[in-house]
Amino acid sequence: MSLSSTRRAVGAALAALALTATASVTATAADAPDLTGDRTAGLREVMFVGNNWDGTADVIQARGDFAKIGRINVIPDKDERLKEIYLNPLKLAFFLGIRQGPGEGHDQFVDDMYSTPDGSAMVVSRPSFADVVSLDLATGRINWRFPVSGFRSDHMAVSPDGTRVAVSASTSNTVHVLDIGTGVQTGSFKTGDKPHENVFTDRGRYVWNMSIGEVNTALDAPWLDWTKGDRRITVVDTQSFEQVKVIDMRERLDAFGRKDLSDSIRPVAFTPDESTLYFQVSFFNGFLEYDVATDTITRSKTLPKNPATSEDRTTWVNDSRHHGMSMNPRGDKLCIAGTMDDYATVVDRATLEESPLVPASKPYWATVSGDGTSCVISESGADAVTAIDFATGKKVATVAVGDHPQRVRIAHVPAGWAGPTGD
């Protein structure tokens, strides 16, 4: 291909990216495959709650009282995996490093989870085992296993049609895209340092990856921010896996007058038309607003600090201050998990005014209920999930789950399912 042809191809790709504002898929919709019509026949909508330190996933109702339905053991092969790790000095070094670093003294057995379109299986990333597995929901047995490159798996995203799952391999700066039914890799791409969250946009045409850099060192003073590595958003075409765009938020933050903020992007939420991205960054008790078409940061919101929260940044888990955000289907309310400040709150998108703070113990994630009326947060410090009404900002339910819940995702299981028979 000639240089001029290459430039035309890149230009066309960038133009297509700018048109994502016309799409109707949201970042919160990426939590749930596009299961509509006959595809949901015989299935029950639920929520998967990943209990990171337990190695289990609780299945709860996706609305109403959010009552617990069943539990899945996501590490049925634990003995086999541990034997493999302990016989390999390099794998053992990373395994123990994960325990003492992001695991806060615990092994990380479950990070992210989705269901297959037919509701027959759960696909889950297991950081300490550096893999993704598919678990048969009827028997609890492993259908397939995909070892990621490097030594740790992290956040995932499922395509809107539910057929592909993207997983971050955080130590190899790679995202793998897998066929959700077979575990076969359909493509992969390189990212910035420590890829974290993934989001499909434009009906699955693109995937956005946010790399967070090094978050496990004690070099947390603002003047040492340069030690955290290459942090950026990488946007990739999901057919060719060609890189479409790289967004360096350092430049955008500086232009917005916030040189004081880290450019390590944590959880994000798109508006329903995908024209605007909201995102959290390391160490910040708040979030920012980014206009996709103009490629600029347009607003920021600083949320209250908890007076009881230490100002010693080295005590904040994995450089987080606030970690978790979601948007309601109408696109007029945001839900924010104030992780180190021990609260969650609903924010009006037009005014950026927050509702009264809802006390919560180290809330680590925020998603949307099946009916779209509630924000559901994981309280990792209380081993519970809590639902907060988007309209009133008030807590409506709390349900006990396993040890250190993190990710919460909308999923589907067979009607009448109450747990694997072989568990």
Structural domain of 90: 25-414
Q: Which residues contact 61 (CB under 8 A, 6 or more apart)?
A: 46, 47, 67, 69
Identify the CA nearest to 367 among candidates 206, 197, 241.
Answer: 197
Which tokens sit at 343?
């609260």
Q: Residue 342 has what pLDDT?
A: 97
Q: Which residues are bridge partners to 233 per DSSP?
A: 210, 247
Task: Evaluate whether residue 14 is within a structural domain.
Answer: no
Which tokens sit at 202?
């434009």
CATH number of the domain encompassing residue 335: 2.130.10.10
Which DSSP symbol is given to 354?
Answer: B
Task: Evaluate whether residue 11 is within a structural domain.
Answer: no
* Sign (positive or negative) of CA dihedral 396, 398, 399, 405: positive
Task: Evaluate whether residue 270 is within a structural domain.
Answer: yes
CB 394 within 8 A of CB 378: no
* DSSP per position, 96-132: HHHHHTTTTTS-----EEEE-TTSSEEEEEEGGGTEE
* Sign (positive or negative) of CA dihedral 301, 14, 262, 165: positive
Those residues of the chain that have pLDDT short of 50 are 1-37, 423
Q: Which residues contact 79 (CB under 8 A, 6 or more apart)?
A: none
Q: Residue 29 has what pLDDT?
A: 39
Task: Evaluate whether residue 260 is within a structural domain.
Answer: yes
Q: Residue 325 has what pLDDT?
A: 97
Task: Evaluate whether residue 20 is within a structural domain.
Answer: no
Task: Evaluate whether residue 277 is within a structural domain.
Answer: yes
Q: How far apart are CA 357 and CA 341, in angstroms?
A: 10
Domain count, the chain: 1
CB 138 within 8 A of CB 420: yes
Task: Evaluate whether residue 421 is within a structural domain.
Answer: no
Q: Residue 18 has what pLDDT?
A: 40
Task: Evaluate whether residue 10 is within a structural domain.
Answer: no
CB 419 within 8 A of CB 71: yes
Q: How far apart are CA 241 and CA 244, in angstroms?
A: 9
Measured in whole angstroms, the distance separating CA 144 from the mean position of its chain's CA atoms is: 22
Q: How far apart are CA 26 and CA 199, in angstroms?
A: 9
CB 366 within 8 A of CB 337: yes
Q: How far apart are CA 98 and CA 79, in angstroms?
A: 18
Identify the CA nearest to 402 among candidates 160, 187, 136, 109.
Answer: 109
Which tokens sit at 41?
């026949």
Q: How far apart are CA 269 and CA 27, in angstroms?
A: 5
Q: How far apart are CA 78 and CA 92, in angstroms?
A: 14
